[in-house]
Amino acid sequence: MSAPENRNGLPVLSVAESGPSERAAERGDAARNRVLLLDAARRLVDERGADSVTTDDIANAAGVGKGTLFRRFGSRAGLMIVLLDEDEKAQQHALLFGPPPLGPGAPPLERLLAYGRHRLKFVDTHHALLSDVGRDPQMRFNAPMTLHHSHVRLLLDEAETTGDLDAQAAALLALLDADYVHHQRTDLGRSLESIADAWETVARKLCGT
């Protein structure tokens, strides 16, 4: 069967499979599936830890086919990076625009201490994701870590901390590194609370209080 022709004898492209409204619906489905998959993955990672969550688990929990997961995210790692990225963005929003003492409005030292405890919980929850990403030294020191560095450096500066602020910010962030915290938790059996307290003593010393 030849392609249909319009009145001018030029071929007409078939729109039966992908007309404007179908394409919009497809985009809507894609967006919906993306949200379903990310929500399911976030829930499963929270419940079991990232290491124990497979693509089958995520697709099943989201109620979509595994092929859809791979079409949307390329791979399990791709989905996990998007997940981490969304959670990082939510945390960054809380730091910059959220209520005090994490967000603006509290004295700088108070904000810094709130940041330490908040970030510690974050890296503990997201350990498996952050550890994967952090294995690459480019990721350990470049974006998105530069935002955390700038944030800590700014608070040190606002707290009128003396000395090399970049080195001090780097030192404080190293104590919030996902692998370091994981090592403290699993190899040394320390509680999150005691790691947070230790971090606070270092932060207070650097701020001279």
Closest separation in Å from C-beta 56 to its own copies: 27
Helical spans, DSSP H, in 49-162: 55-62, 66-73, 76-97, 108-125, 127-134, 137-141, 145-158
Closest separation in Å from C-beta 115 to its own copies: 16
How many residues make up the chain in this entry?
Answer: 209
- For its own copies, the closer of residues 44 and 84 by Cβ is 84
Closest separation in Å from C-beta 125 to its own copies: 17
Closest separation in Å from C-beta 101 to its own copies: 21
Residue that is written with structure tokens 């001279």 in the block: 208
- For its own copies, the closer of residues 45 and 172 by Cβ is 172
- For its own copies, the closer of residues 64 and 207 by Cβ is 207
- For its own copies, the closer of residues 23 and 141 by Cβ is 141
Residues found near its own copies in the complex (CB under 8 A) = 131, 135, 137, 140-142, 162-164, 166-168, 170-172, 174-175, 177, 179-180, 182-183, 187, 197-199, 201-202, 204-206, 208
Closest separation in Å from C-beta 176 to its own copies: 10
CA distance 166 to 155: 12
43-77: burial string, b at 16+ Cβ within 10 Å, e else: ebbeeeebeebebeebbebbebeeebbeebbeebe
CA distance 154 to 1: 70
- For its own copies, the closer of residues 52 and 162 by Cβ is 162
CA distance 52 to 82: 18
